[in-house]
Structure 1
């Protein structure tokens, strides 16, 4: 059963109060941030604060991923060595451009899955090779940095980023890793967030990275199967099973052909709903 990653909320690693509050938030994933959310003079202290809070536990079934600073910065290597000793599920490396970057972080954090920030043109062009790395657990798309490097204009449909977004999804699906969409900056714009989540879901993303707790409810809803989708899935499975029992290879539901591939999708939909229910009841 696949672990749900509908919502992935960034939390500053330097803020003990925010780290404590995160224990009660309805996020599937907590992205504990030692990079952009922490000022340079606070970074050494943030490592200690985060290690202490993670050591206290209390985050329940949420996936705990720590984003470190890039390895070519003053803080990256020390971050990596600190995370190797932290009670977390994975380490997130920014500015990944190729599989060599995964080799470098895996040497410092050998016992945890590596997640890659996909936020540069070079990283997108090397997405398949990065996804194929045996230590890789997932992609987090950094749409703000990517747009900056590409020189694109920001539009609601994100058309300038479609190629990059879909390239990451293709690479992730080819190699069986998670892929999370970038953040939506206007955290008070609920309808804009919902539209971007729906676009990401339609593209095949597993979930959305978020910058504010107020965004959790929408992301969790959009990236979960709807009641209508669950009902359709059940009906397709039942109709197909009945057709097979009668010696037929396909079924028809609502005027549409249902083949084995549709049933596989239906079963995956039900399994996702079951995994979400299990997570939310934990």
Structure 2
């Protein structure tokens, strides 16, 4: 599985009673991936209920496979070890590692040492602001790089560490997270890791969400956490590629010149090739957006 296929990853509290309908694609058409959360989205008192729901879901998936890739977010490594013993756990694609740091990752990795599930570590603690700590995390993840589907950016938790909440009228890039998102991209993307953009919590502002997703794309973040079903189409529609953008990407990939001009811009396959490959892949998954032609006169 490629991280680009995740699209808008819907986070679903494990206490919900319709988990199977969600992962079977019955509740939200177009959903491409889901995380069943047993961490911050549920109260400690509700953990037993969530675990019971999860066990029932896994049993059901043994009879009827999910159509949506399913990931589980445990509360800690002990809960992860407990889950790995559930019958049917092989039916899910992987686990989200919450609050991943250089100190917290090793116990998770030991628990999963003989396992083949994919991992999505989440950077959401104060260590994410420390370049040296990020370097330590990166070295640990490079050792298991083939299992790391993507690295998730936990925007709300990062804001919590500084006692802030994101604005309802500006994108994350205009607030205190802007520089942090860029720093996380530059810390991990050059080493071949995909990253997921943080959640947009104000689900009644689709225009602002679209603006933020466009900024995500500029940063190379091509999958995003969703906390409400109404966000799914907004996010995934933004991943569609413009026809002219796709034509330019194909020209870059198919041209044997060192540098050439196209549509008023310099195109250099040696430096634009990775971008072009991403555009072509996005088009194959999400489709091509129709070009808007201005009326004459």
The reply to whether TM is greater than 0.5 is yes
Corresponding residue of 1:67? 73
Corresponding residue of 2:47? 43
Corresponding residue of 2:246? 230
Corresponding residue of 2:166? 154
* Residues 206, 128 of structure 1: alpha-carbon distance in 2 compared, 3 angstrom cutoff: farther
Corresponding residue of 1:108? 111
Higher helix fraction (1 or 2): 1
The alpha-carbon deviation at position 264 of structure 1 amounts to: 4.2
1:93 counterpart (88, 92, 97): 97
Aligned-partner Cα distance in 2 for 1:142–1:264: 26
1:97 and 1:122 in contact (8 A); partners too: yes
Aligned-partner Cα distance in 2 for 1:226–1:211: 27
1:142 and 1:183 in contact (8 A); partners too: yes
2:268 counterpart (237, 251, 259): 259
Corresponding residue of 1:280? none
Q: TM-score, normalised by structure 2?
A: 0.79
Q: Which consecutive segments of 4 or more residues in structure 1 shift more than 6 A?
A: none
* Residues 214, 203 of structure 1: alpha-carbon distance in 2 compared, 3 angstrom cutoff: same
1:128 maps to 2:140: no
1:106 and 1:114 in contact (8 A); partners too: no
Aligned-partner Cα distance in 2 for 1:153–1:37: 17
Aligned-partner Cα distance in 1 for 2:22–2:104: 33
Which consecutive residues of structure 2, in runs of 5 or more, have no partner in the other structure? 288-297
The alpha-carbon deviation at position 82 of structure 1 amounts to: 0.7
1:183 and 1:211 in contact (8 A); partners too: yes
Correspondence list, 1:177-256, <5 A: 177-237=193-253, 240=255, 244=256, 248-256=257-265
Which consecutive residues of structure 1, in runs of 5 or more, have no partner in the other structure? 72-76, 278-282
Tell me the C-alpha RMSD between the 2 structures: 2.4
Per-residue displacement from partner, 1:74-127 (whole Å, max 9, x unpaired)?
xxx1343214641222211222222x3221111122312332221112134222
* Residues 47, 153 of structure 1: alpha-carbon distance in 2 compared, 3 angstrom cutoff: closer
Question: Higher mean Cα deviation, 131-140 or 196-205?
Answer: 131-140
Corresponding residue of 2:79? 78
Q: SS where residue 160 of structure 1 aligns?
A: coil
